[in-house]
Amino acid sequence: MFKKIVLLPGDGIGPEIMDAAEQIVNCIALEYGHQITCETQAIGGSAIDETGRPLPDETVKACEEADAILLGAVGGSKWESLPPSDRPEQGLLGLRKALGLFANVRPVKGFPPLLHASPLKEEVIKGSDILIVRELTSGLYFGEPRERREEGNAAIDTLYYNREEIERIVDYAFKSAQSRKKHLTSVDKANVLETSRLWREIVDEKSAEYPDVTVEHVLVDAAAMQLITQPNRFDVVVTENLFGDILSDEASVLTGSIGMLPSASLTQSGVGLYEPVHGSAPDIAGTGVANPLGMILSVALMFRHSFGLEEEARAIEQAVHNCLEEGYYTSDLHIQGGKCVQTDEMTRHVIEKLTSKSVSECILNTYA
């Protein structure tokens, strides 16, 4: 199989974890006989430093031509004083819109050796396996008008959704539920918001097309509560952009290891952008201690969702599991009786579990 990937390391620990991702991509390519080329482009704060803009045209063009995109992280205090429209985050938002990455998929599933670090009691979090499907290219993030009014003393953002935008994310969520436990929770605020009432109507209409999936509607405030009290009751959760942003951060800490969680942002055609859920962690950037596993598991999602290579995806996930089972962890985590390792050592252990080839072959291939 021949594929072209664009790497967007971004800011903070982004370049360090992207280095790990590239080694894993090359390791899988060698092991399974795929030809995968990687091209690095700028985004976020580092793109501002290089070109004056968080999303250079060249980056958009390369991403448009790619089969998949891997992103490290964007943002940092260095760029905080810039006006909102020039900040690193605009690079990511602009790319989501430019590519039509409407479906953000965040699997929230804990790793048994790490569950002791969950803020929840182990018996409450145990067995939880949630897939959050967040609408990513509309809603409050993009609605117009969005501006200051009354000489700067008032401000307006717009929560807009149309039928097509809701239908495609709801379809995606139903299909995901069909391949899992066949339960869909649609989260809204239909007791207050008109967009939520439209959302709810469409979910009910669509449910006729997916008779094997049970559907429930939960108000967002109640959903926030139930994620803490009964995380086990959820399978697939579908919701609009801002609710999804908030709920997915809430859900991600429940596993006790936010550094482990991957995410996928998908277009209708299957091209996707894959990134860890965690941010750029500027406080530890350059120290070599960042946890590469969220990024490495994002590579697994890329093989699964964009390339349809399930075996390769599972191999990566299994390798990560095995590393944890053997007690290897990075400084953001802790495993009793285990060994704390740095970014490059953790990556090496994952590679050793993926291939009989030497680690240096994978690294050599990376820099060839």
Which residues would be at the binding site for ligand IPM (CB under 6 A)? 89, 92-93, 245
216 bridge partner residues: 185
249 is known as an active-site residue: yes
Distance, CA of 124 to CA of 118 (rounded, Å): 10
Distance, CA of 75 to CA of 90 (rounded, Å): 10
The angle, 0 to 180 degrees and rounded to 10, between the axes of the packed helices 14-32 and 293-305 is 50
Q: Pick the catalytic residue: 19, 172, 188, 189?
A: 189
Q: Pick the catalytic residue: 204, 249, 283, 339?
A: 249
Asked if 345 interacts with Mn ion (CB under 5 A), we say no
Nearer to Mn ion, 245 or 345 (CB): 245
Distance, CA of 90 to CA of 94 (rounded, Å): 6
| Shortest Å, Cβ 49 to ligand IPM | 18
Nearer to ligand IPM, 103 or 362 (CB): 103
Identity of residue 170: V
245 is known as an active-site residue: yes
Quick one: what does residue 92 bind among ligand IPM, Mn ion, none, with the CB cut-off 5 to 8 Å set by partner type? ligand IPM
Asked if 89 interacts with Mn ion (CB under 5 A), we say no
**Residue nearest ligand IPM (C-beta atom):** 89
CA distances to 11, 77, 210, 250, 278 from 282, in Å:
8, 8, 44, 21, 12
CA angle, residues 257, 259, 264, in degrees to nearest 5: 115
* Nearest alpha carbon to residue 266 among 95, 62, 137, 102: 102
Quick one: what does residue 228 bind among ligand IPM, Mn ion, none, with the CB cut-off 5 to 8 Å set by partner type? none
Tokens of 186: 């649609």
189 is known as an active-site residue: yes
Quick one: what does residue 93 bind among Mn ion, ligand IPM, none, with the CB cut-off 5 to 8 Å set by partner type? ligand IPM
Quick one: what does residue 326 bind among Mn ion, ligand IPM, none, with the CB cut-off 5 to 8 Å set by partner type? none
Write out the E strands in the chain.
2-10, 35-40, 68-73, 103-109, 129-135, 143-149, 154-158, 183-188, 214-219, 236-239, 262-266, 272-276, 328-329, 339-340
Quick one: what does residue 157 bind among Mn ion, ligand IPM, none, with the CB cut-off 5 to 8 Å set by partner type? none
Nearer to ligand IPM, 93 or 340 (CB): 93
Distance, CA of 213 to CA of 87 (rounded, Å): 41
Tokens of 203: 């979910």
Asked if 245 interacts with Mn ion (CB under 5 A), we say yes
Distance, CA of 76 to CA of 30 (rounded, Å): 35
| Shortest Å, Cβ 79 to ligand IPM | 12
57 is known as an active-site residue: no
Nearer to ligand IPM, 138 or 355 (CB): 138
| Shortest Å, Cβ 244 to Mn ion | 9
The full length of the chain comes to: 368
| Shortest Å, Cβ 125 to Mn ion | 21
Which residue in the block uniquely carries the two structure tokens 């252990």?
Answer: 349
**Residue nearest Mn ion (C-beta atom):** 245
Q: Pick the catalytic residue: 245, 344, 353, 357?
A: 245
Nearer to Mn ion, 27 or 136 (CB): 136
Residues making contact with Mn ion (CB under 5 A): 245
Residues annotated catalytic, as ranges: 141, 189, 221, 245, 249
